[in-house]
Amino acid sequence: MDLQIVDCHCHIFPPLAGACGFPDAATHLLHQQRAMHMHGNQPYRRLRDDVVTTERMLWQGDDPSEAGRATDANFAVGRCGRFEWEKANERYYVQFLPPHMQDMSSPAEVIVAGMDYAGIAVSILQNDHIYGNLAEDFSAAAARYPGRFIGLAQVEEAFAYRDEQLAALHNQVARLGMAGLYFTTTGLFRSGYRPLHDDHIYDPFWRTVEQLGLPVFWVQSANSPVGDYADEMTCLLRLMERFPTLRHVLVHGVPTGLYADAAERITLPDIVDQVMRSDQVTSELLYPIGLGGRQNYPYPRAALHFRQLFDRYGPGKFAWGSDMPNVERYCTYRQSLTYAWDYFDFLDDGARRKIFRENALALFDKPASP
């Protein structure tokens, strides 16, 4: 088909050892250390012999607040895709990004070249505190490469209800042209997860997001003080009921691996099914970043799982994303597309048009303000 494909999950960022939009590099590093504590997809390894270790050394597991940070770990941004630290005179690392990323950066020009090579017309730039607070960078990239990028705003989630965060959101939308909001529940660690994001104290923030017509791209960890994935969907459903015109994107998609039996049959909790059936919700089609460390391309488990979701919810529910450049620790940019485009033989041209373009762009058709 003559289709201008949209990637709904992409990242650009400057070298990660810097402040990257935070007040200083130390605040950025705090977020990065918490993120690597929460990260479970790539293993921790001992540097001297690459042996995998299961010990979690970056945070006190019973204290989700800033006070739980392991301050003696000498946590640092390394090179070649690694975050590194030390404990008991041993060095450790996690290979979070692909090894070719020498200075831990993802320049816009490199992503555009990758988009051209893979056949991607437009990418939605998702924010995350791991990379920085990057609306300024996103705005500059959109100006340099017209029509190629759509940027998402970001706030400090733990304090989003405060006036300075509301002002920051308005600035990112009005001055920098951000068209959606990226919101990760893991960011609540800065307040010790008190209050949670569905507390009524957040209502002015969510009302503002609704009035601005911003789709919310949600990252849930499925294992945090909020609870498991079903608990997180319960919080989301409460917000959906209070703010009925807000639109929501489940970043990384429904974690089908949590709900699959030995025969790969998926049974979703009722609350997850209820969220998925709402017209307010879109789910990413994004499997390689989760399956790539467990199964080889073209990830046949992805086809088995997604077929069940597709049959249940239809093609209007999903938007394809790559998670570039992270996904390149497992496969190429083009393979992050072709595992689905070429191997999901149950998709016809109409379904492809929706999943690989129309559903993503429709998120940015602003509804009337409530």
Q: Please, is 16 exposed, middle or buried when counting C-beta atoms within 10 Å of its C-beta (0-12, 13-18, 19+)?
A: buried
Domain residue ranges in the chain: 5-13+105-362, 25-95
Q: Please, is 369 exposed, middle or buried when counting C-beta atoms within 10 Å of its C-beta (0-12, 13-18, 19+)?
A: exposed
Residue whose entry in the numeric block shows the structure tokens 């940015």? 364
Q: Global pTM?
A: 0.97
The one-digit pLDDT tens for each residue of the chain (370 residues) are 578 999 999 999 999 999 999 999 999 999 999 999 999 899 999 999 999 999 999 999 789 999 999 999 999 999 999 999 999 999 999 999 999 999 999 999 999 999 999 999 999 999 999 999 999 999 999 999 999 999 999 999 999 999 999 999 999 999 999 999 999 999 999 999 999 999 999 999 999 999 999 999 999 988 899 999 999 999 999 999 999 999 999 999 999 999 999 999 999 999 999 999 999 999 999 999 999 999 999 999 999 999 999 999 999 999 999 999 999 999 999 999 999 999 999 999 999 999 999 999 999 997 655 5
Spatial separation of the C-alpha atoms in residues 85 and 78, rounded to whole Å:
9
Spatial separation of the C-alpha atoms in residues 362 and 319, rounded to whole Å:
10
* Angle formed at CA 288 by CA 286 and CA 293, multiple of 5 degrees: 145
Domain spanning 5-13+105-362 has what CATH number? 3.20.20.140
Spatial separation of the C-alpha atoms in residues 73 and 118, rounded to whole Å:
40
Spatial separation of the C-alpha atoms in residues 6 and 149, rounded to whole Å:
10
